[in-house]
Structure 1
Amino acid sequence: MYCKNCGKEIGENAYCPHCGTAQTQAEQTEPTTNQQQYTAPNQQYAAPVDNGGFGWGLLGCCIPLVGLILFLVWKNEKPKTAKAVGMGALISVICSILFYFFSAVLGLGIGLIGL
């Protein structure tokens, strides 16, 4: 459900916790489409699509800095998508650390055998 005044998502409250506007039963309808829309006085809002797609996770994995930035920007607005891009970035960083660790161990092993 969305507030008729500010457009933020609210629960089954009689008043919006964000702006304090009273809600009526006639205006408390649940949107049915993926691009949910509601109207406020002289304004029209569209709720952001938040599907947490694989492509965002792949982007975060390929470019971890972009993944971190997008996670921080979207963590409140699009939590599912932010989680996907953040997990991609985290997986990339962990894989990089493991790769460098095993490369160092392998290099030391080869160096010790060569002596």
Structure 2
Amino acid sequence: MYCYQCGKQVEEDVKFCPYCGAQLNSHDQNNGNGYNPINQNYQGSYQKPDDESSFGYALLSFFIPVVGLVLYLVWSKEYPLRAKSCIKGFIANIVFYVLMFCCIMSGIVGIASQYDDEVHWNHNDFNAVVETVSYE
């Protein structure tokens, strides 16, 4: 028999999985498909043995966010830990660009206000001389 939560093989007469601690029910309660009517949860997917968090995928998702989002969507069911790494890199990229935008805008406003204070614009400085020419 296999555990419905982690997918590892366990003995027939145990009530709890020794690997993940999930409660194992008899066939009349579990129906053999991962649906448990006692707690109304479906635990059909399990973690694959080669699934692990990866800093490389997070870094790739940080520098190329579209790739990170696509990888997250593709791997969210089969490789949840890798997918989580990808989405973390994607979110870090978004946060980075928002912070950079805020810093640049505050710098521009600071420079503009400092320039305005130093120049002391006077509207009377821009008087124009208009000369009329007669048509003959």
Asked if 1:16 is matched to 2:32, the reply is: yes
Take 2:88 and 2:66, find their aligned partners in 1: how far apart are those partners? 12
Within the alignment, does 1:62 sit opposite 2:78 as a pair? no
1:88 maps to which residue?
Answer: 89
**CA separation in 1, counterparts of 2:88 and 2:32?**
33
- List per-residue Cα deviations over 1:37-63 (Å, max 9, x = no partner): xxxxxxxxxx46211111111111111
Identity %: 29
Larger strand proportion of the pair: 1
In structure 2, what is the equivalent of residue 76 of structure 1? 77
Q: Which amino acid aligns with 1:68?
A: L
- RMSD of aligned C-alpha atoms? 2.5
Give the secondary structure class of the aligned counterpart of 2:32: coil
Higher normalized contact order (CA 8 Å, seq sep 6+, divided by chain length): 1
Counterparts of residues 4-43 of structure 1 (less than 5 Å): 9=7, 12-13=24-25, 14=27, 15-17=31-33
Between the aligned partners of 2:56 and 2:105, the Cα distance in structure 1 is 32
> Do the aligned partners of 1:48 and 1:78 also contact (CA within 8 Å) in 2?
no
Q: Output the amino acid matched with 1:53.
A: S
* Structure exhibiting the larger radius of gyration computed from Cα positions: 2
Instruction: Kindly provide the amino acid, as one letter, of the partner of residue 75 in structure 2.
Output: W
Count of residues in Structure 1 that have an aligned counterpart in Structure 2: 84
**Conservation of the 8 A alpha-carbon contact between 1:61 and 1:67:** yes
Structure 1: tracts of 5 or more residues without a match: 19-46
Gaps of 5+ in 2: 9-21, 35-47, 117-136
After TM superposition, give the deviation of residue 16 of structure 1 in Å. 2.8
Q: TM-score when scaled to structure 2?
A: 0.53
Moved over 3 A (4+): 8-15
Query: Which residue number corresponds to residue 42 of structure 1?
Result: none
